[in-house]
């Protein structure tokens, strides 16, 4: 209960900037309810003018019905204005939530993004915020109009007959007790439903994006079975949540039926004794129904409210995650560097129970080319993650030009590097925009010059719209090699002082790779460069080759000296180039 109230307070915090719209909604709700309650009075007068044969005042009845018609039209108008204000509040609240979630994605440590299914994170941003928006629209609408309706009808009923009003007030709260009991049962299921929705979104996102791999390995049947299992769990918790919540509305309507019966009995007795007219009983029955209606409507939207609360909990769990450590207050901005890199006594592991890099030391002079080789999982890419501060070291220090990287602002630090990864990434924009991703203000001539250095300018010129050709989602209208060449051109445009090439030519044919290597050689001349490679033929010209195993450097030197040692590198090299 405490957690639920905390969640509601945080939702109201997002609503608070739009309180002026809420005040307007309250005003329109009040006018709507008052006009809605005025109509039954005129209908009661009309009934009293037509209860005896031969004594029907058609003129008076006509006037009363005209007043009722105008009142109903004005009710509809004010109800529309009320809904307009509430919808505006809901949409702006959801917009602000999504904005904060997207901002959170850019501020949480990469460890959080890497350790959570991406489909689940997307589900929180889309499905859960939609649930909150729907719950807000329904909840606020029912709350405002319902609160005004209950208070107004209570006043009207007390004015007509105190005794019958007391009967209505005493019986009606039973419906709220019933609704509260049922909501406790359904809340747990709605929370489980939201969690499973995130799980199924993650599964779908993963398998749709990797359909080629799924089909290549004939994994269709197994993937369908796994999906069926998750989907079945979603069905079960969805059915249970709807089953429990579906009791709320019929139960409260049953209580309201008792209220109507009580009004009829007490009202009939009062009419017999001359205390009320037939028209007054009719008005009172309408008011009794109007009084109990908000309770019915609130219980009717309980499923949406529960779903909204469950979604809000998942959203706030994400927003409550710790951000990456902020830059130091006195952190400096480096506009450039010579390229000297020193790594001293660095220890790092992704999880505390599994050591990866221990007591790592490396000293790189400006302009040197450093190649990092070793078996899979030895820590090659981890070194890159530490240099870029994607992850923070557990112990030790890393220096650039004798300045600790933790004394440099992250944005400034990362601007010193140009990185080409094995997995090329393009976004839905023009080819020119993709190449200029790291330098948005680059001219077309600069973009073309970078493309020529990457040997992709001829291909781009042959495209239907040249550099203005739109890249589809994830660049699926280009081959893997073409995507990687565009990524290489992106780095060449930025012209950074330090290069990081993580399997940068893994998806390029041998002939093009030779040209790219020539371009890289020209680009790396005079620059500090880190090259992660499995194909050892690409690193022969490196000044230093670090041979890593189990997070440690076991050999170090240039290609020729390592071959002469006939150690681990020698065996690794010969495993690729030895004759059959």
Highest-pLDDT range among 24-38, 196-210, 393-407:
393-407
Calculate what percentage of the chain has a pLDDT beyond 90: 8
Same domain, 264 and 363: no
pLDDT in tens, 236-253: 888 887 777 777 667 777
Q: What is the CATH number of the domain that holds 216?
A: 1.20.1560.10
Same domain, 310 and 370: no
Same domain, 185 and 311: yes
73 located within any domain: no
Q: What is the mean pLDDT of the chain?
A: 81
Domain stops at, among 319, 339, 357: 319
372 located within any domain: yes
Question: Residue 161: its pLDDT value, please?
Answer: 74
Same domain, 219 and 367: no
Question: Residue 578: its pLDDT value, please?
Answer: 54
253 located within any domain: yes
Question: Residue 335: its pLDDT value, please?
Answer: 82
Question: Residue 300: its pLDDT value, please?
Answer: 61
pLDDT in tens, 294-344: 766 666 666 677 778 888 888 999 999 888 888 888 888 888 888 899 999
CA distance 492 to 554: 33
437 located within any domain: yes
Q: Determine contact, residues 87/24, Cβ cutoff 8 Å.
A: no
Same domain, 406 and 540: yes
Question: Residue 55: its pLDDT value, please?
Answer: 65
Q: What is the CATH number of the domain that holds 419?
A: 3.40.50.300
What average pLDDT does the segment 567-579 reach? 74
Same domain, 547 and 462: yes
Same domain, 418 and 528: yes
Question: Residue 580: its pLDDT value, please?
Answer: 37
Residues near 570 by beta carbon (within 8 Å), at least 6 away in sequence: 562, 563
DSSP assignment, residue 128? I
The distance from CA 184 to its chain's CA centroid, rounded to whole angstroms, is 27
pLDDT of 387 over the 70 cut: yes
Same domain, 289 and 369: no
**Weakest-pLDDT range from 137-141, 221-225, 540-544:** 137-141
49 located within any domain: no
* 3-state SS, residue 412: helix
Same domain, 382 and 438: yes
Same domain, 277 and 382: no
Per-residue b or e along 455-488, where b marks 16 or more CB atoms closer than 10 Å to that residue's CB = bbbeebeeeeeebeeebeeebeebeebbbbbbbb
What tokens does 182 get?
């049922």
306 located within any domain: yes
What average pLDDT does the segment 185-208 reach? 78
326 located within any domain: no
Q: How many domains does the chain have?
A: 2
Looking at per-residue confidence, does 77 or 525 come out higher? 77
Which ranges in 210-247 belong to alpha helices (H)? 211-216, 220-246
Name the residue range of residue 292's domain: 2-15+86-319
465 located within any domain: yes
What average pLDDT does the segment 188-195 reach? 78
What average pLDDT does the segment 88-115 reach? 88
Same domain, 209 and 115: yes
Highest-pLDDT range among 31-45, 297-311, 555-569:
555-569
Same domain, 131 and 266: yes
Domain stops at, among 319, 336, 367: 319
């Amino acid at each position: 209960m405490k957690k639920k109230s905390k969640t509601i307070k945080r939702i109201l915090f997002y609503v608070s900037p739009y309180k002026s719209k809420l005040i307007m909604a309250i005003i329109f709700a009040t006018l709507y309810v008052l006009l809605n309650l005025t109509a039954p009075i005129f209908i009661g007068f009309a009934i009293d003018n037509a209860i005896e044969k031969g004594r029907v005042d058609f003129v008076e009845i006509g006037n009363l019905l005209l007043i009722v018609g105008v009142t109903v039209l004005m009710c509809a108008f004010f109800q529309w204005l009320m809904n307009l204000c509430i919808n505006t509040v809901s949409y702006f609240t959801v917009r602000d939530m999504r904005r904060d979630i997207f901002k959170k994605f850019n501020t949480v440590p990469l460890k959080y993004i890497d350790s959570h299914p991406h489909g689940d994170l997307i589900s929180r941003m889309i499905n859960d915020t939609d649930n909150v928006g729907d719950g807000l629209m329904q909840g606020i609408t029912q709350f405002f109009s319902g609160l005004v309706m209950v208070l107004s009808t209570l006043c009207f009923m007390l004015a007509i007959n105190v005794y019958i009003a007391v009967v209505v007030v005493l019986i009606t709260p039973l419906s709220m007790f019933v609704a509260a009991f049922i909501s406790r049962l359904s809340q747990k299921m709605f929370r489980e439903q939201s969690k499973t929705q995130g799980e199924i979104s993650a599964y779908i996102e993963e398998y749709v994006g990797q359909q080629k791999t799924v089909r290549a390995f004939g994994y269709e049947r197994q993937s369908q079975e796994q999906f069926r299992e998750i989907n079945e769990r979603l069905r079960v918790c969805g059915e249970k949540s709807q089953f429990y919540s579906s009791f709320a509305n019929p139960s409260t309507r049953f209580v309201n039926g008792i209220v109507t019966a009580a009004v009829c009995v007490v009202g009939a007795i009062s009419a017999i004794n001359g205390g009320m007219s037939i028209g007054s009983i009719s008005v009172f029955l309408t008011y009794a129904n109007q009084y109990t209606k908000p309770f019915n409507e609130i219980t009717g939207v309980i499923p949406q409210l529960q779903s909204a609360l469950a979604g809000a909990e998942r959203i706030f769990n994400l927003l409550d995650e710790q951000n990456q450590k902020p830059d130091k207050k006195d952190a400096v901005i480096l506009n450039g560097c010579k390229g000297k890199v020193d790594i001293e006594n660095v220890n790092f592991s992704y999880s505390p129970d599994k050591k990866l890099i221990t007591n790592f030391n490396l000293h790189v002079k400006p302009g040197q080319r450093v190649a990092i080789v070793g078996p899979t999982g030895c820590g090659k890419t981890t070194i890159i993650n530490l240099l870029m501060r994607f992850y923070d070291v557990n112990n030790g220090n890393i220096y650039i030009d004798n300045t600790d990287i933790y004394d440099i602002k992250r944005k400034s630090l990362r601007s010193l590097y140009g990185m080409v990864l094995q997995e090329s990434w393009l976004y839905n924009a023009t080819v020119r925009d993709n190449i200029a991703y790291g330098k948005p203000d680059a001219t077309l001539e600069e973009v073309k010059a970078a493309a020529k250095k990457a040997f992709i300018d001829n291909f781009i010129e042959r495209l239907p719209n040249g550099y203005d050709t739109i890249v589809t989602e994830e660049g699926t209208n280009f081959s893997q090699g073409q995507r990687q060449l565009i990524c290489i051109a992106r780095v060449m445009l930025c012209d950074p002082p330090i290069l990081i090439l993580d399997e940068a030519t893994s998806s390029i044919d041998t002939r093009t790779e030779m040209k790219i290597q020539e371009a890289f050689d020209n680009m790396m001349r005079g620059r500090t460069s880190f090259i992660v490679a499995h194909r050892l033929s690409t690193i022969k010209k490196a000044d230093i080759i670090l041979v890593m195993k189990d997070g440690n450097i076991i050999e170090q030197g240039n290609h020729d000296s390592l071959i002469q040692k006939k150690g681990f590198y020698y065996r690794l090299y010969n495993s690729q180039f030895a004759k059959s």
